[in-house]
Structure 1
Amino acid sequence: MTGNPRLYNVEEVAELLGLHVKTVRGYVRDGRLKATRIGKRYRIAADDLAAFTGRPVGATARESARRVRRAEATAIVQVDAASPDLVHRLSVVLGAAVTASARDGERLHTESVYDEERAALKIIVLGGPRPVAEALRLLSAMIEDLRGNRHDR
């Protein structure tokens, strides 16, 4: 054991994982969850439980959520009178923004839907607040520039 030396009984593991006690015992008997038998009871080491769940153990999911605070933003941008050329240019800019956010260790995801018949483009941008704000600034600047120069025809 290298990390947390705490030992859990089957009932504690069941409560931590939101499972029935019989399910946890089945995992132990099947060998999926490593445990040591002490007397008539199983004991599960925190490290073995962490290996089983793929996440650190020692707190409930609610307590863990309080310690790991994340903020996400979602924006939907509707662009009317969008030509195929504009759609292509905006997709290149968004691709660069996604690549830049990945290099910075932040998540940014974009989806675009273009209805050529109606010349309508809908862009969904989601991720951390900073990369979403940066992507929106890029989109806004590009749309304003193209509107002023009429390059999107």
Structure 2
Amino acid sequence: MQQDWYSADEVAERLGLHVRTVRGYVRDGRLAAVRIGKQYRIAREDLEAFVGRPAPSTIQESTTRQRVVEVSSAVEISAVDRRTVDRISTLLTSANAHQRAGDDRLRIQAIYDEERAHLKVVVFGSLITSANVFEMIEAILDDGNAAESDS
């Protein structure tokens, strides 16, 4: 059976103490350790007995990483009329309120400059959910272009 051994520095890091404090505990006999060369080595079992529970792990050992990819994008649409802006903002509001299962929460802001007929939509969220929003905007714009060409 392989036994885990820690240096005084590693124990100090795990316990959030200064290394001199750990060495003091070893010299006082409060923390069992073996001297190897010029260093103390503390067995995992001795550290757990000293702490009174399983040895705390280091940040690297205890941190589980989960990848999160988020997008912040601005969509700028020029030469857009008020009716199309209303359709886009209504669609985005309802889509954000009634998301599909598995969709991440989005933050969406729409700013319309009526004088310039310019709409800016800012989207913050996951890649897939943001892409779905862009597809919805494109569908409305394509529908508006088709209606204009029919007229």
The TM-score, its normalising length taken from structure 2, stands at 0.56
Match of 2:114 among 113, 116, 119: 116
Cα distance, 1:68 vs structure 2: 1.5
Uncovered stretches (5+) of structure 2, i.e. residues with no partner: 1-10, 19-29, 31-50
In the comparison of the two structures, how many residue pairs are matched? 108
Match runs of 1:19-30 below 5 Å = none
Match of 1:142 among 120, 127, 140: 140
Question: Does residue 126 of structure 1 match 2:124?
Answer: yes
AA aligned opposite 2:85? V
Cα RMSD (Å): 3.5
3-state DSSP of counterpart to 2:111: strand
2:67 aligned residue? 69
Q: Specify whether residues 105 and 133 from structure 1 end up closer, same or farther in structure 2 by C-alpha distance, changes over 3 A only.
A: closer
Q: Specify whether residues 115 and 59 from structure 1 end up closer, same or farther in structure 2 by C-alpha distance, changes over 3 A only.
A: farther
Match of 2:96 among 95, 98, 104: 98
AA aligned opposite 2:107? H
- What is the alpha-carbon distance in structure 1 between the residues aligned to residue 105 and residue 99 of structure 2? 6
- What is the alpha-carbon distance in structure 2 between the residues aligned to residue 61 and residue 126 of structure 1? 30
In our comparison, the structure showing a higher alpha carbon Rg is: 2
- What is the alpha-carbon distance in structure 2 between the residues aligned to residue 98 and residue 128 of structure 1? 13
2:59 aligned residue? 60
The TM-score, its normalising length taken from structure 1, stands at 0.55
